[in-house]
Chain A
């Protein structure tokens, strides 16, 4: 099945403009034969929303989301936005939308609040990493900083996800690599490594464009369950990246390297309990 990753340039704080463009990309992805269209973190709002958080947040029952629900009758999609909970907590969330319904919500668990990042000031932190069934098969969505914590990937793995959707808005930094920012290379290394170690497809959707001199690092990619890059986008351009994903390759990778079969989560759990108790 063909999946489309959209390397997106958001207009900061302009939900309607970003929504229009998101729908356009979905139509293009559909024309290219994709069954699922994946967008980066906070693509509907822009990344450095700061105090705009409270102006662009939408409850999940908001009519503002109707065009996306309608679109999902044509093609499944994963989008990023600021979710306002019924209790008025604001989350950096990603939605999986399919067949006219929101089928899954991932709230970003790890909110970077250091250096140039200030997410913890504005967002509440999610508490769950839960696998769900996408059109491709058992899947997990993780958002940016989530993936810098191995535990979230482990949780996806142990639930049997064969498709890890990694949504990010990663500002470029580091000039010690070739043809890309240093952080883009780290993402690729991470994607190849995680894909291989989990026997999963790793689908990385990153932003492009600038927000006040933060230049998002692009280089979205898809890594196969063997840890090989099968599609790779440019560092700067807004574009659609597509690839044919094959469940059989997950089977093949896991037959050759049965890490999921041999995994012992109860040992992890016992040891975690012991470590926490000893503290």
Chain B
């Protein structure tokens, strides 16, 4: 079973999956009446892969990249975001979010890192949507399946977007695909970080490696193994419990607001239409 899990994570035909993802982007964007997308480019691998896929799907003239550094953002993040835009030859804007973030936190000088990080993520979302309206574009998301499942995101921040081509790829699969589509090696190989404060790394914060996380997640989610089965095949019970707790506790982040039902049909419950209704 352990070897099945490892096999299951591997994408056999990456050229085919690239085609699936680019077809998805092209069709979902164009049939909604758009040609362009805006993408926040952080310098990390998720947004780099997304930007590469968007350019393959829509052409470089239809992709707008935004880098939105705060004063503590690492220099390499800013440089790598520029590098992605340069390679792809896309319209690129670097918008520093320091003034508005600092102006707000002058009111709350003791605010902790999480408050500050969340505020930054939501500020970036707000800028992406401003650009989307200005440029007549959709916001393309960059959340991978691992972070969606454990809730490693800011509600209405980085997890808010219109379409997401990489949300069914675990982080380790993002690495595979990024390497395949030509994302520079130094972006694929660097330690993943939300870069919300200096020295932050995802794996440090989550408390385990993406490789282990993804194996537990694919076992639990895709293969529907139970906790006991995951432990039986050799995963540390403490780690398994931590992962499963993160999944359960973050369910609210994956859902829209819940509505109190009083009528026959209720918008979030039994008013069931796909978003692509009529498209």
- A and B part of one assembly: yes
Q: Which residues of A contact B (CB under 8 A)?
A: 11-14, 48, 50-52, 172, 175-181, 209-213, 215, 235-236
For the complex of A and B, 4 pairs with smallest distance between CB atoms: A50-B272, A212-B274, A178-B13, A51-B272
Given known pairs A178-B13, A236-B19, the reply for A210 and B273 (CB within 8 Å) is no
Decide if B19 touches A235 in the complex (CB within 8 Å): yes
Decide if B277 touches A213 in the complex (CB within 8 Å): no
Decide if B277 touches A210 in the complex (CB within 8 Å): no
A-B contact pairs, 14 of them (CB 8 A): A11-B278, A13-B277, A13-B278, A50-B273, A51-B272, A175-B12, A175-B13, A175-B16, A177-B13, A180-B16, A210-B276, A215-B23, A235-B16, A236-B20
Decide if B274 touches A50 in the complex (CB within 8 Å): yes
In the complex, chain B residues 115-151 whose Cβ is within 8 Å of any chain A Cβ: none
In the complex, chain B residues 1-57 whose Cβ is within 8 Å of any chain A Cβ: 7-8, 10-13, 16-17, 19-20, 23-24, 27-28
Is B256 in the interface zone, CB < 8 Å from A? no
Give the Cβ gap from A10 to chain B, nearest Cβ, in Å: 10
Bound state CA distance, A83 and B277, in angstroms? 19
Give the Cβ gap from B49 to chain A, nearest Cβ, in Å: 15
In the complex, chain B residues 71-130 whose Cβ is within 8 Å of any chain A Cβ: none
Chain A's closest residue to B23 (CB) is A236
Bound state CA distance, A13 and B31, in angstroms? 14
Bound state CA distance, A212 and B163, in angstroms? 9
**Interface residues of chain A: helix, strand, loop or mixed (majority):** loop
In the complex, chain B residues 145-186 whose Cβ is within 8 Å of any chain A Cβ: 163
Bound state CA distance, A13 and B279, in angstroms? 8
Bound state CA distance, A12 and B270, in angstroms? 18
* Inter-chain contacts of A177 with B (CB < 8 A): 12-13
* Inter-chain contacts of B11 with A (CB < 8 A): 175
Bound state CA distance, A178 and B11, in angstroms? 10
Decide if B12 touches A178 in the complex (CB within 8 Å): yes
Decide if A179 touches B13 in the complex (CB within 8 Å): yes
Contact of B16 among A14, A52, A178, A210 (CB under 8 A): A178
Decide if B12 touches A12 in the complex (CB within 8 Å): no
Chain B's closest residue to A217 (CB) is B20
Bound state CA distance, A210 and B17, in angstroms? 15
* Inter-chain contacts of A236 with B (CB < 8 A): 19-20, 23
Contact of A215 among B20, B270, B275 (CB under 8 A): B20
* Inter-chain contacts of A211 with B (CB < 8 A): 274, 276
* Inter-chain contacts of B274 with A (CB < 8 A): 12, 48, 50, 211-212
* Inter-chain contacts of A179 with B (CB < 8 A): 13, 16
Contact of B273 among A51, A176, A181 (CB under 8 A): A51
* Inter-chain contacts of A213 with B (CB < 8 A): 24, 28, 163
Query: Assuming A12-B278, A50-B273, A215-B23, what are 8 further A-B pairs, CB within 8 angstroms?
Result: A13-B273, A13-B277, A172-B20, A175-B16, A210-B24, A211-B274, A235-B16, A236-B20
Decide if A12 touches B16 in the complex (CB within 8 Å): no
Most chain A CB within 10 A, of B7, B28, B270, B272, is at B272
Decide if B24 touches A175 in the complex (CB within 8 Å): no
* Inter-chain contacts of A215 with B (CB < 8 A): 20, 23-24
Bound state CA distance, A212 and B273, in angstroms? 10
Chain A's closest residue to B164 (CB) is A213
Bound state CA distance, A267 and B272, in angstroms? 46
Chain B's closest residue to A122 (CB) is B272
Bound state CA distance, A212 and B24, in angstroms? 9
* Inter-chain contacts of B19 with A (CB < 8 A): 235-236
* Inter-chain contacts of B7 with A (CB < 8 A): 176
* Inter-chain contacts of A235 with B (CB < 8 A): 16, 19
Decide if B276 touches A212 in the complex (CB within 8 Å): yes
* Inter-chain contacts of B275 with A (CB < 8 A): 212
Most chain B CB within 10 A, of A51, A172, A178, is at A51
Given known pairs A210-B23, A213-B24, A236-B23, the reply for A12 and B276 (CB within 8 Å) is yes
Most chain B CB within 10 A, of A11, A12, A181, is at A12
Chain B's closest residue to A48 (CB) is B274
* Inter-chain contacts of B20 with A (CB < 8 A): 172, 181, 215, 236
Bound state CA distance, A19 and B116, in angstroms? 54
* Inter-chain contacts of B277 with A (CB < 8 A): 12-13, 52
* Inter-chain contacts of A14 with B (CB < 8 A): 278
Give the Cβ gap from A23 to chain B, nearest Cβ, in Å: 20
Give the Cβ gap from B141 to chain A, nearest Cβ, in Å: 12
Chain A's closest residue to B165 (CB) is A213
Give the Cβ gap from A207 to chain B, nearest Cβ, in Å: 13
Chain B's closest residue to A50 (CB) is B272
Give the Cβ gap from B29 to chain A, nearest Cβ, in Å: 10
Give the Cβ gap from B221 to chain A, nearest Cβ, in Å: 12
Give the Cβ gap from A128 to chain B, nearest Cβ, in Å: 29
Give the Cβ gap from B205 to chain A, nearest Cβ, in Å: 28
* Inter-chain contacts of A13 with B (CB < 8 A): 273, 277-278
Give the Cβ gap from A13 to chain B, nearest Cβ, in Å: 5
Bound state CA distance, A215 and B10, in angstroms? 20
* Inter-chain contacts of A181 with B (CB < 8 A): 20
